[in-house]
Amino acid sequence: MRVAFAPYVLKFRNPAGTSRGVMTEKPTFFIKLYDESEPSRFGIGECSVFPGLSPEADGRYVYKLMELLANIALGRDTDLSRHSSIRFGLEQAIRDFAGGCRHVYYPSGFTDGKKSIEINGLVWMGDFDEMISRIDEKVSAGFRCIKLKIGAIDWKKEVEMIEYVRKRYSDSELEIRVDANGGFPLDSALARLKRLADLGVHSIEQPIPAGNAELMAFLCSVSPVPIALDESLIGVYGRDDKVALLDEVSPAYIILKPSLCGGFSGAEEWISLARERGIGWWVTSALESNVGLNALAQWTATLETSMPQGLGTGGLYTNNLRCPLRLESDRLRYDADAPLTDDEYSQLDWRE
């Protein structure tokens, strides 16, 4: 067996505001697994690295991919325990190749076109008027759960925005999740959590920065709004470390991003440990291209959950690759009749 990889830069359709600044592009790497005797048939995956968030996103990343290529050619194992994004992509490529190179990674009623996944409507950071407009668009499109990225504008303005939403849509009409990306000041976090609870917010992701386990544990024990861990899971690799984190912090939820928390296998371990402790969870995409998003949605569809998932829709980028995923209202569906073609992949700059 052989592996090749190709770098690719995804271009945002509109600048994406995050708590870490505004993004206009995002690098990623595609990976393919093939047999030398028939190189035209290959399994495809995406190593969706996230600069500024992925611990492995450094100057040595490409060398790790080169090490993987060499080891697979020689039949050796590669230690990917600290390279979640590469494990994420390799697991996709292996499953695709084993399944006949049809880009069906996790066969189910979803890939047969018979089932769908409810997702939340993500509202990106912006100024007050922009975010209100985006919220109204999501609700008009049929979303019953929205996720607001907060932390980019003044806290009072963000409260005002959520108040506006609540005056128009009750708890039963619209579930509001917020994601602070660790942006709350430590000395005012609890007061802010209480205010969000008053506004009927369903949950908040990562109110304070990762690495503050003791304070996060305290907030989880007293917060009137359920807290979900997101960035706190990144860089926690071993099972014992995962157990220690969950037992110490005891969050209401954990957010699973396989490209950041150990690939699909690592995320499944998080799910198992969370279920043992009565901790809820949902899956969230992490700005993958349609390649990674397709595999992520297929995997999510096999999990036993009825909560809205945080999956993207592939419309963020101007140069995304084709994909069989389709959005209908707030349901993500797989078009089983979509034609399969690998012509886009042949144009990539493959390194072998």
| DSSP-H helix ranges across 257-342 | 263-276, 290-301
Q: What is the DSSP string of 159-211?
A: HHHHHHHHHHS-TTT-EEEEE-TT-S-TTTHHHHHHHHHHTT--EEE-SS-TT
**Residues 304 and 113 sit within 8 Å (Cβ to Cβ):** no
Tokens for 266, please give them. 């690592």
Cα(21)–Cα(173) distance, rounded to whole angstroms?
Answer: 32
Could you tell me if 300 and 311 are in contact, meaning their C-beta atoms sit under 8 angstroms apart? yes
Q: Is 138 tagged catalytic? A: no
Question: Residue 79: is it exposed, middle or buried by C-beta count within 10 angstroms (0-12/13-18/19+)?
Answer: exposed
Kindly name the residue from 32, 147, 149, 242 that is annotated as catalytic: 149
Contact at 8 Å (CB) between 32 and 3?
Answer: yes
Residue appearing with tokens 């386990």: 213
Q: Can you tell me the distance from the alpha carbon of 262 to that of 252, in angstroms, rounded to the nearest whole number?
A: 21
**3 state DSSP class of 79:** coil
CB–CB of 330/140 below 8 Å?
no
Q: Alpha-carbon torsion 24, 140, 280, 115, what sign?
A: negative
Q: Which of 64, 138, 147, 257 is catalytic?
A: 257
Could you tell me which residues come within 8 angstroms of residue 277 by beta carbon, excluding any fewer than 6 positions away?
A: 246, 247, 250
Is 32 a catalytic site residue? no
Tell me which residues are annotated as active site. 149, 257
